[in-house]
Amino acid sequence: MLKSKSLALALLLTGGALIAAAPALSADGPNPVIVKAGYKVPKNAFGQPDLSGAWTNSTLSTLERAASYGDRMVMTPEEVARAEGTRLAQIVNGNKPTSTTATLAEVNATCDLPGFAPGAGCAYNAGFTEPGDLVMRVNGQPRASFITYPANGRIPQRKATAVVTTSNIVVGPAEGEERAPLGAGEAAGAGRGGRGGGAAAQPAAGAGRGGGGGGGGRGGLAGQYDNPENRPLPERCIMSFGASTGPIMRDQLYNSNYRFVQGRDSLAIWVEMVHDTRIVRIGPNAKHRTDGIRPYYGDAIGHYEGNTLVVETTNWPQSQQLNGSWQNLKITERFTRVSPTRMLYQFEAEDPTFWDKPWGGEYEFAQTSGVYEYACHEGNYALEGVLAGARAAEKAAATPASAQR
């Protein structure tokens, strides 16, 4: 009988095999696709590899690797046990009743998820969040990061000539806003299985990622607090919080689930977080648009190579820049079923005007039970509060000090 939730989930998410023969790993480009022995990729009614169904990418692992790992992408059993054990303890602690007399500091000390902004884990008890319970396995190997190349598992430095533009509507993690990498146990409890070092913490789920979470007058970019349409798209429930929609598709504090629906000439990826839907046009007639329009999630076209769906996305809007890159950004994704319950996801980002070389990586989606409604709606309390707070701050600034007494 399994005595650990973490172990039970690990067996489920790795298809019952915690240890697999190690394939040759590459730090210079994509790794080879390893299909489980004896598994035959199913085909749909159109003769395409069947990717349909519900999938999740919820995991403890992060896009970038903690510097303490160096060029090592595979974690040791001890590191995995420490990471998943810390997360299991957080689940147990987070499900305890909260004292009605506890101070805010006391509550934050017991329910915060290190690696996220203070308060991110306190909006709900552990039963209502899913920031990931397990280290990501690829072919059974526990990975310290999604990025596999360059060798250090981190997004490369920009070129000295790279031009960085700003937008008052930022979607997804901005530069330095990526969730902290999975640490190599630098400090006990330093976050989601020893997360530490690396990039800055991720904002709280309710803070409207990419934009200010409160009033405070006309801080930040001009007009940011004047008009609801100038506020970040996630705050308006138009797009996902963070980067779950992608590409590159990443897990979040919760709702890291997807449903893939295939047609003859298209693929729809329904994202649970804020009910986004990515549409990929597929086939020989699928061409990138040339009308200058840059749609949300970019312009995605795809084709099948054997049992793999290859998706290329260009024409990015400025509001969805990836660490500053957008005008010439191209992201290539590859989706391959590798077992009855696992789908390999490989990605590569390239922008010759921004980085010296392409970079990329991989992880595996796990089959899940379904996708649930995310009942986000524009005009919620946060948006009203942001604008009302700004008006109150402006009124206070315009009122003489003598009249404020």
Residue 404: per-residue pLDDT? 57
Provide the whole-model pTM: 0.78
> Taking the mean position of all CA atoms in its chain, how far away is CA 128?
18
Residue 117 included in any domain? yes
Q: Does 310 have pLDDT greater than 90? A: yes
3-state secondary structure 298-342: CEEEEEEECCEEEEEEECCCHHHCECCECCCCEEEEEEEEEECCE
Tell me, yes or no, whether 103 lies in a domain: yes
Residue 168 lies in a domain: yes
Rounded to a whole number of angstroms, the CA Rg of the chain reads: 22
Please indicate, yes or no, if residue 386 is contained in any of the structural domains. no
* Of 37-41, 315-319, 381-385, highest mean pLDDT: 37-41
pLDDT tens figures, 350-391:
999 999 999 999 999 999 998 888 887 776 777 888 889 999
More confident residue, 226 or 107: 226
Domain-embedded: residue 227 = no
pLDDT at 244: 84
Cβ atoms of 87 and 6 closer than 8 Å:
yes
Task: Decide if 360 contacts 347 (C-beta within 8 A).
Answer: yes
* d(C-alpha 29, C-alpha 347), whole Å: 10
What is the rounded distance in angstroms from the CA atom of residue 299 to the CA atom of residue 3? Answer: 47
The answer to whether residue 226 is domain-embedded is no
Q: What is the pLDDT of residues 181-236, one digit of tens each?
A: 766 443 222 232 222 222 222 323 333 323 333 333 334 455 678 888 778 777 77
Would 230 be classed as within a structural domain? no
Question: 94 lies in a domain?
Answer: yes
Q: What is the mean pLDDT of residues 268-272?
A: 93
Residue 21 binned pLDDT confidence (cut-offs 50, 70, 90) = very low
Q: How many domains does the chain have?
A: 1
Show the tokens assigned to 165. 């533009």
Q: Which domain holds residue 285?
A: 5-208+243-374
- Which of 249, 312, 269, 244 lies closest to 53 in space, CA to CA? 269
Which of the two residues, 15 and 72, has the higher pLDDT score? Answer: 72
